[in-house]
Amino acid sequence: MFSKDDLLDMGFVGFTRLKDIGNDFGIFPDFKGLYIIYTDEEQDVSFCNPGTGGFFKGKDPNVTIDELIRKWVEDANVLYIGRAGGIAKNGRVYRSTLKTRIMQYIKFGRGKNIGHWGGRYIWQIKGSGDLMIAYKILEDENPVIEEQELINKFKNHYNGRLPFANLV
């Protein structure tokens, strides 16, 4: 259900290794949508503390290795599901684009003091640069709803578990 082929069928594209992005965020579109962090089967995942995430507003983004182990979802390739743009149930409008949101996420992972607290567990994976990011443009759909639906599909497939780096 969450293989690379499944994700491609869902409309996800890119699958770029984080270490290959550099500072060229122009490879990501200025549209609203979803993005995921993905690992292939060959990647050996282990954890480190501290990780590389930035200290936003002085808060330490790191958790214990035990917490990371507890949160890990065996056999899952999708490690994080995020969104850019959309309208929340309370009417709040999010104007971010895939380009700006992914740029924030990557820069946070490089230790910058940036507000991308969600998905921070990724940056405590040794060799996180080998992970891949893929995205899906949403022209007419609401990313807030689409993100929740994809997370719900993940939870249904993995016995109620959230993706590793999704905290809520």
Asked if 131 and 43 touch (Cβ cutoff 8 Å), the reply is yes
Per the prediction, the chain carries an average pLDDT of 94
Domain boundaries, the chain: 4-157
Confidence (pLDDT) at 153: 97
Residues β-bridged to residue 132: 17, 38
Tell me what the mean pLDDT of segment 37-63 comes to: 91
pLDDT at 59 over 80: yes
Cis omega (within 30 of 0) on the bond before 50? Answer: yes
Tell me what the mean pLDDT of segment 85-110 comes to: 93
Q: What predicted TM-score, i.e. pTM, was given to this entire model?
A: 0.95
Outline where 11-127 has alpha helix (H).
Answer: 65-71, 98-109
Report the first-to-last Cα separation within the chain, whole angstroms: 21
Residue 164: CB atoms within 10 A of its CB come to 21
Q: Could you report the per-residue pLDDT of 118-162, keeping only the tens digit for each? A: 899 999 999 999 999 999 999 999 999 999 999 999 999 999 999
- pLDDT grade, residue 3 (50/70/90)? very high
